[in-house]
Amino acid sequence: MSVLVCENLSKRINKNEYIRNFNYNFLDNQIYAIVGKSDSYKEEILDLITGKINADDGKVYLDGQALFNNNFISERLCYISRNTTFPGNIKIKSIFKLMATLYPKWDNAYAFELIENFQINPRSTYSSLKSNKRTLLLGILGLASRANITVFDNPVGHADVKDRYEYFKFLYSHHERYPRTMIMTTDYIDELDYIVNNILFIDKGRLFETYKTEDIKDDFRYLSGKTEVLKSLINGIKVIGVEERGKTLTICIRQKLKKDDIRKFQKYLIEIFDVPIQKVFIYLINLREVKGI
Amino acid sequence: MNVIKSLKFHFYTYKIPYLLFFLFNLFIIGISYFLSSITEIRKYLLIFISSSTIIYTFIIGYYEYSVLNKCYLNIKANRLSYYFSSLIMSFINIIIHLLIIFMYGYLYYRYNFIETILFDHTHISIYIIYAITFFIIFALGSFIGLFFSKIKLLIRVVILLLIVAFIFFGSDITEFIYKLINSIYMNNNYIISKPLIFSFTISLILELIIYLKVKELNI
In this prediction the ipTM stands at 0.78
Nearest CA in chain B to A85: B71
Question: Which residues in chain A are closer than 8 Å to B13, comparing Cβ atoms?
Answer: 87, 89-90
SS3 for A4-25 is EEEEEEEEEECCEEEEEEEEEE
Helix/strand/coil percentages in chain B, nearest 5: 85, 0, 15
What is the pLDDT confidence band of residue A157, given thresholds at 50, 70 and 90? confident
CA–CA dist A102, A94 (Å, integer): 13
Q: Is the pTM of this model over 0.90?
A: no
Strands A31-36 and A181-185 come out as parallel
Nearest CA in chain A to B68: A87
User: What's the pLDDT tens digit per position in B72-98?
Assistant: 888 887 888 899 999 999 999 999 988
Nearest CA in chain A to B66: A87
What is the pLDDT confidence band of residue A71, given thresholds at 50, 70 and 90? confident
Q: CB within 8 A of A83, min separation 6: which ones? A: B70, B74, B219
Select from B16, B73, B76 the Cβ nearest to the Cβ of A102: B76
What is the pLDDT confidence band of residue B127, given thresholds at 50, 70 and 90? confident
Question: Which residues in chain B are closer than 8 Å to A50, comparing Cβ atoms?
Answer: 77
Interface of A with B in 95-124 (CB under 8 A): 95, 97-99, 101-102
Interchain contact A12–B (C-beta under 8 A): no
Lowest mean pLDDT among A178-187, B15-24, B116-125: B116-125
Mean pLDDT over A277-287 rounds to 93
Query: Nearest Cα to A145, choosing from A193, A100, A106?
Result: A106
Residue A1 pLDDT = 74
Cβ <8 Å between B219 and A102: no
Nearest chain A Cα distance for residue B84, angstroms: 14
User: What's the pLDDT tens digit per position in B140-170?
Assistant: 999 999 988 777 777 778 778 877 887 777 7
Cβ <8 Å between A101 and B12: no
Cβ <8 Å between B13 and A89: yes
What is the pLDDT confidence band of residue B196, given thresholds at 50, 70 and 90? confident
Interchain contact A94–B (C-beta under 8 A): yes
Query: Nearest Cα to A92, choosing from A64, A119, A65, A54?
Result: A119
CA distances from B178 to A104, A207, B181, B215 (A): 51, 66, 5, 39
Strands A149-153 and A77-80 come out as parallel
CA–CA dist A187, A97 (Å, integer): 31
Residue B79 pLDDT = 84
